[in-house]
Amino acid sequence: MKVLIGVTGCIAAYRACELVREFQRAGHEVSVVMTEAATRFVGLETFAALTQGHAKVSLFEDEDPIPHIALAQWADAFVVAPCTANVCAKAASGIADDLLTSTLLACTCPIFIAPAMNVHMYESAATQANLDVLRARGVHVLSPDEGYLACGEVGPGKLPDPKSIAQWVCAHAEKRPQALSGKRVLVTSGPTQEPIDAVRFISNRSSGKMGAAIVSAALDAGACVTVISGPVAISYDARSEVISVMTAEEMFQAARKAFAEVDVAICVAAVADIRPESASAGKLKKGRDDEALACISLVPNPDILSWLGHHKQEGQVVVGFAAETEDVVAFAKEKLASKGADMIVANDVAAHEVFGADDDVVTLITEEGEEELGRLSKDAVANEVIAAIASMTANS
């Protein structure tokens, strides 16, 4: 594999030297492209020595008049590690003002970004929004490690170990069988919002991150994916079709309509079990509408997973998610049987550490048994779920 490593202006730039060696030890051919700022931390000559001269920094000081196109065409994988907040923002906005960002924009190969920066810069709304945009476009983003940072602060923002980065890239970039090639997959994701009045609603803590990870994993496995999503602040992979809804009833109607045309339905959404029987057109005000506020009549919402499970045709696979606070596996097994599902992905949300987080601990429940996965990133969980579904579809 031909690996192009992008190095940006970060104190962790020196670790990119180790990354070059990790890829070379694994038998891959490596070239390096740097920003001008990166050369303040590690000289171009260092990377040139490590790569037998295959290191560049300028768009214009090269014998090739269009080096960014040549590099983009050469690479089988482009790995930007470390990637500063500035380059994350440029990549998300499509800015191409130097050799690295111009090459990034021209690349058609898989792109991998390993952000490294101050904890507050990483956690800022702007950086997180930029990373969400990149993920939605199919860019692989490796979450930074937590630890003691160069600035003296402690938290996420540390570049992961180069060996881990190399393994991560190879696992995603090398050719893998398209386990769901030709399959059509429906994913429900995010929360639903059930209006009480013009400004209030019943909802839950779901962020949609797990749904987004499932969508990308299914697409990477070769599936054609439709997402029915409640209100979320994240973006879904741009390769998918996204249908936006608000209420459980809207999600149910959209899912019921789409179900006949799909091979697999994955119900990741945290659907509100109940809704107000009627919603006020205006805002209910204290002192004027106290009686209405004190007694809000609730009615059940449609059970989307159950409807799909009991209406599936031969060959269709239906998967549900179960967020429980106690007796997680026992309740998931009951749900598997009562909903007519083929698999339940169960997780313990008692500590509220799952909602909005980047990792999770789940157990896969099927009629054949249960498989507990250790703590994994949600992307890794999604890959495990899709692999299990692929086995089911292969046997159906």
Positions annotated as catalytic residues are 151
Taking 70 as the threshold, does the pLDDT of residue 350 lie above it? Answer: no
Q: Give me the pLDDT at residue 177, please.
A: 61
Is 159 part of a structural domain of the chain?
Answer: yes
Tell me: do 207 and 328 sit in the same domain: yes
Tell me: do 209 and 150 sit in the same domain: no
Helix extents (H) in 149-195: 162-173
Taking 70 as the threshold, does the pLDDT of residue 22 lie above it? Answer: yes
Domain boundary among 140, 173, 206: 173
Q: Give me the pLDDT at residue 361, please.
A: 83
Is the Cβ–Cβ distance between 288 and 204 less than 8 Å?
no
Taking 70 as the threshold, does the pLDDT of residue 356 lie above it? Answer: no
Is 168 part of a structural domain of the chain?
Answer: yes
Is 380 part of a structural domain of the chain?
Answer: yes
Is 179 part of a structural domain of the chain?
Answer: no
Please tell me the total number of residues recorded for the chain in this structure. 396
Domain boundary among 142, 173, 204: 173
Tell me: do 93 and 198 sit in the same domain: no
Is the Cβ–Cβ distance between 220 and 237 less than 8 Å?
no
Is 26 part of a structural domain of the chain?
Answer: yes
Tell me: do 110 and 29 sit in the same domain: yes
Q: Give the structural domain span for 133.
A: 2-173
The CATH number that applies at residue 204 is 3.40.50.10300
Tell me: do 190 and 209 sit in the same domain: yes
Structural domain count, the chain: 2
Lowest mean per-residue pLDDT among 126-130, 266-270, 290-294:
290-294
Q: Give me the pLDDT at residue 351, please.
A: 57
Taking 80 as the threshold, does the pLDDT of residue 93 lie above it? Answer: yes
Q: Give me the pLDDT at residue 75, please.
A: 95
Tell me: do 246 and 159 sit in the same domain: no
Tell me: do 112 and 17 sit in the same domain: yes
Tell me: do 305 and 214 sit in the same domain: yes
- The secondary structure of 13-31 as a DSSP string is GGHHHHHHHHHHHTT-EEE
Is 178 part of a structural domain of the chain?
Answer: no
Tell me: do 20 and 83 sit in the same domain: yes
Is 271 part of a structural domain of the chain?
Answer: yes
- Please tell me the distance from the alpha carbon of residue 195 to that of residue 324, in angstroms, as a whole number: 24
pLDDT in tens, 63-84: 778 899 999 999 999 999 999 9
Is the Cβ–Cβ distance between 268 and 211 less than 8 Å?
yes
Is the Cβ–Cβ distance between 79 and 5 less than 8 Å?
yes
Taking 60 as the threshold, does the pLDDT of residue 363 lie above it? Answer: yes
Is the Cβ–Cβ distance between 131 and 115 less than 8 Å?
yes
The dihedral over CA atoms of 164, 170, 176, 178, expressed in degrees to the nearest 10, equals 70
Task: Calculate the alpha carbon distances from 92 to 58, 103, 125, 213 in Å.
Answer: 21, 14, 14, 19
Tell me: do 146 and 95 sit in the same domain: yes
Q: pLDDT confidence of 262, banded at 50, 70, 90?
A: very high
Tell me: do 265 and 297 sit in the same domain: yes
- Please tell me the distance from the alpha carbon of residue 227 to that of residue 64, in angstroms, as a whole number: 44
Domain boundary among 126, 151, 173: 173
pLDDT in tens, 160-185: 999 999 988 987 776 556 789 889 99
pLDDT in tens, 323-345: 877 788 888 899 999 999 999 99
Q: Give me the pLDDT at residue 275, please.
A: 94
pLDDT in tens, 209-247: 999 999 999 998 999 999 999 999 888 988 899 999 999
The CATH number that applies at residue 7 is 3.40.50.1950
Tell me: do 139 and 270 sit in the same domain: no
In percent, how much of the chain has pLDDT > 70? 97
Is 139 part of a structural domain of the chain?
Answer: yes
Q: pLDDT confidence of 395, banded at 50, 70, 90?
A: low
